[in-house]
Amino acid sequence: MPTPRPGIETIDPYKPGRAEAPGANRVVKLSSNETPLGPSPKAMTAYQEAASSLHLYPEGTSAALRDAIAYRYGLNADRIICGAGSDEILHLIAQAYLNEGDEVIYSEHGFLVYPIVTKAACATAKVAKEENLTTSVDNMLALASDKTKIVFVANPNNPTGTYLPGEELRRLRAGLPSHTLLVIDAAYAEYVKRNDYETGIELVSMSDNVIMTRTFSKIGLAALRLGWAYCPSEVCDILNRIRPPFNISVPAQLAGVAALVDRAHTEAMVAHNEKWRAWLTEQLGALGLPVTPSVGNFVLFEFPTTPGKTAVEAEAYLAKRGLLLRAVTNYGLPNHLRMTVGLEQDNKDVVDALEEFLKA
């Protein structure tokens, strides 16, 4: 029988947010942090117009998309790499830079892809304790050693919704060994409206050991699996050597370009999120469910451990009514649920159902 690489069999496969509610007349999926406003109309048009060229391979380097990203954010297109979601780029980074015996640091409630790519590369994970469900720079630096090859920081973090100010990211980079890659996963950057927040572009521009990853998934193109990273030139060259050929489909490339142009749609998503995230935070708190302050397009909130009122029971209660939230036990948060900010009525339906659940 063929034998896999050491560590592969210890990987817990990634489980996406719940998408079905058997028996429910209506299903509201608020478990995967997708935008409730749908894709950009311009992106949909571009996607549809790609139908006549489905028999042709894509342009292999995603040049038009990289140019559009570069124009939108004032970057050098030669330092941008595109992937089938930012997940693929995280896998490429681990594949390119990790060996058996190397160490990777990430926070205790960090994105579940980090342990997957670490174990797949036969490296060793070092998990840094968080402070108030927020990544701790001090705890990360305390774990750093000559063996540390990669540090993953989701900023803002999923599923907690918390973030590190730019000053803290710079302090982290300054305290790490020069041979360590700092990977800043800024998947939710569009939704952050804090003056001290930085996406990581500045750090990449002034360093040769920082990567910033981004995604189109949270701004309406989740189905197309489209992500990108801004890297030092040398890192970009290495990742392109192992990047699968034609990894971004023609429809995805064209839709991505159109979505970048349609700033009004993105601004509408952000404005909707700002309004209803604040409303959910207030309403859930009023029900006695503490909410972790979030800057993303979701909220994390805590349930009591009293039998009949737990997070597990609440998730089941909501699912029977077609309201799908994300259980985060596999993130080490068994007493919490994570909820994507939804449409007005969907948000209200969840709050009303939770009020019924807690009173029952």
Residues 119 and 189 in one domain: yes
Of 262, 288, 320, the one marking the end of a domain is 262
Nearest in space to 346 (alpha carbons), one of 39, 40, 38, 36:
36
Does residue 309 belong to any structural domain of this protein? yes
User: Which domain CATH number covers 229?
Assistant: 3.40.640.10
Residues 79 and 216 in one domain: yes
User: What pLDDT, on the 0 to 100 scale, is given for residue 48?
Assistant: 97
Sequence-separated (6 or more) residues with CB below 8 Å from residue 178 = 209
Does residue 3 belong to any structural domain of this protein? no
Positive or negative: CA dihedral 133, 138, 144, 149 = positive
More confident residue, 49 or 10: 49
Does residue 76 belong to any structural domain of this protein? yes
Residues 32 and 45 in one domain: no
Residues 198 and 335 in one domain: no
Residues 69 and 30 in one domain: no
The total number of structural domains in the chain stands at 2
Judged by DSSP in three states, 236 sits in helix
Of 236, 262, 288, the one marking the end of a domain is 262
Residues 16 and 151 in one domain: no
Find the mean pLDDT for residues 273-287.
98
Residues 29 and 92 in one domain: no
Of 214, 246, 262, the one marking the end of a domain is 262
Nearest in space to 83 (alpha carbons), one of 93, 73, 68:
93
User: Residue 146 and residue 335: Cα distance in Å, rounded?
Assistant: 36
pLDDT tops 90 at residue 16: no
User: Residue 162 and residue 203: Cα distance in Å, rounded?
Assistant: 20
| Radius of gyration (C-alpha) of the chain in whole angstroms | 21
Residues 191 and 112 in one domain: yes
pLDDT digits (tens, 9 = 90+) for 199-220: 999 999 999 999 999 999 999 9
Does residue 2 belong to any structural domain of this protein? no
Average pLDDT across the chain, whole number: 96
Residues 276 and 239 in one domain: no
User: Residue 64 and residue 52: Cα distance in Å, rounded?
Assistant: 18
More confident residue, 10 or 230: 230
φ, ψ dihedrals at 333, nearest 5°: -130, 70
Helices (H) and strands (E) in the chain, counts: 12, 13
Backbone region of residue 215 per phi and psi (left: phi > 0; alpha: psi in -120 to 50; beta: other values):
beta
DSSP string, 242-309: HSPTT-S-HHHHHHHHHHHH-HHHHHHHHHHHHHHHHHHHHHHHHTT--EE---SSEEEEE---STTS
User: Which domain CATH number covers 338?
Assistant: 3.90.1150.10
Residues 18 and 114 in one domain: no
Does residue 1 belong to any structural domain of this protein? no
Does residue 331 belong to any structural domain of this protein? yes
Structure tokens at 307: 């039998």
Residues 65 and 191 in one domain: yes
Residues 163 and 238 in one domain: yes
Judged by DSSP in three states, 337 sits in strand
What pTM was computed for the model? 0.95
Sequence-separated (6 or more) residues with CB below 8 Å from residue 198 = 165, 166, 169
- pLDDT-based confidence at residue 17 (cuts at 50, 70, 90): confident
The answer, yes or no, to whether the previous bond of 156 is cis (omega within 30 of 0) is yes
Does residue 17 belong to any structural domain of this protein? yes
- pLDDT-based confidence at residue 20 (cuts at 50, 70, 90): confident
User: What pLDDT, on the 0 to 100 scale, is given for residue 10?
Assistant: 85
Does residue 333 belong to any structural domain of this protein? yes
- pLDDT-based confidence at residue 58 (cuts at 50, 70, 90): very high
pLDDT digits (tens, 9 = 90+) for 288-319: 999 999 999 999 999 999 999 999 999 999 99
Enclosing domain of residue 22: 8-38+264-359
